[in-house]
Amino acid sequence: MSAPRPALLIVDDAPGNILLLGGALGGDYEIRFATSGEEALALVRHQPPDLILLDVVMPEIDGYQVCKRLKDDPATCDIPIIFITSACDEENEIRGLEAGAADYINKPINIPVLRTRIRSQLELHGALAELRLAASVFHNTMEGILVADAGWNIIKVNDAFCRMSGYAPGDLLGKRFDWLQSDRHPAAFFRELCDEVQHHGHWAGEVWSRMPSGESHPQLLNLSRVENAGGGISHFVALYSDIRFLLDQAKQLERLAYHDALTGLPNRRLLMDRLRHAISQSLRHRTLLAVAVLDLDGFKPVNDGFGHHAGDEVLTRIAERLGGVLRMSDTVGRLGGDEFVLILPDIDPTTDIETVLARVLEAVAEPVSLPEQDVVVTGSIGVAFSPGDGIDAELLVRRADSAMYRAKAAGKHRYRIFDAERDGTL
């Protein structure tokens, strides 16, 4: 499908001139016409043309007034206007150009010259429209844009880049592109990046740029070279996207995948990974590993009596206390509900385990202050040891869980060691 022909509006109160111009130009352009200034203004408002050929001397309002009113209107100010008139003295030509006309042609009309000037003005108008669009994109895009000359000296930055980086334009203009390099990259990083663009035309990837504070921020960079008409390099254009929020989001998603949303403790997935690692370490170093399953006693009445918000507060406080009484090498995680798992590496089954679990039971049993009243829950704990009770993570947790139910049956607020004869082999 061919592109539509440009539309010309011929404004002249002499029908003969309209017929002459329309006949000469109608093969290349869509011709519209008006015989007065008021008619022309109404036509332009209704259906703006690509270019206007405007007579000066007309009844009611002359061409200068028509031109000024069109140029004062934001909706029509960019339409190129060429005066065609017999008022050919220098003063009138200056007046026409000052009114906003793009060109001024004297009668009698030289049609080949007119064709050339119309074509030039339409090409110029199209180029200016593209420049205005490019400028609008440059200033209004959310992406940061930096332009460097052929010597990699920064000559232009947009507002988005300044907001993203914290620099003012004056901080950057005249600096070399690699001035932004962060010490997170090797010294040769930006040099190699620039060489890649210079020889192959484009580079895209993640970079860390230095901010005014001295911090480094991650950005996604698309860097391209711009060639001149002769094929040489005229400029380099860098398009930056701020990906800090993406990295923060990725970290948050990773945390949600491996941690309990309420307490922040490792969830079952991370717990089992850590337990498998701890079992491997205990086998390598011939040390004893304890796995304890802790279930809260009296938690359901808190949930039922005061609501889930109260239950969540109790779980959060218990999680904090468990972290406070365990060793740095230990791990506490939440399996779900009111059940926790403790991973206790390198432990003595006769002395250390009693001391650790006594501290845990004491910490759990401390009152929790709620808006309604203080509540007390206790804990029942079951313990299994590796390698004696197994070297499979899931099996160890099941055996510790079985021992925990025996602690509950014995009166709660106590611990029991897994015993194959009493708890079964599972």
Average pLDDT, the chain: 87
Q: pLDDT tens-digit profile of 235-245?
A: 898 888 887 66
Residues 265 and 405 in one domain: yes
Residues 106 and 149 in one domain: no
The CA distance from 247 to 126, in Å, is: 42
Q: Report yes or no: 9 and 42 within 8 Å, Cβ to Cβ.
A: no
CA distances (Å), 92 to each of 57, 67, 103, 353, in order?
A: 11, 13, 12, 105
Flag whether 1 is in a domain: no
Residues 92 and 177 in one domain: no
Residues 84 and 231 in one domain: no
The CA distance from 354 to 57, in Å, is: 109
Residues 90 and 59 in one domain: yes
Among 121, 138, 155, residue at a domain's last position: 138
CATH code assigned at 117? 3.40.50.2300
**Domain boundaries, position 211:** 141-243
Kindly report the length of the chain.
426
Flag whether 248 is in a domain: no
Classify the phi-psi angles of 21: left when phi > 0, otherwise alpha if psi is within -120 to 50, otherwise beta.
alpha
The CA distance from 169 to 147, in Å, is: 12
Mean pLDDT by 10 residues, the chain (426 residues): 81 88 89 92 92 89 91 90 82 84 85 89 84 74 87 90 87 87 82 86 86 81 86 87 65 72 89 92 92 93 87 92 90 91 87 87 92 90 92 93 92 90 71
- Dig out the tokens for 281 from the structure: 């370490």
Q: How many domains does the chain have?
A: 3
Residues 306 and 392 in one domain: yes
Q: pLDDT tens-digit profile of 176-209?
A: 888 888 888 887 888 888 888 888 889 888 888 8
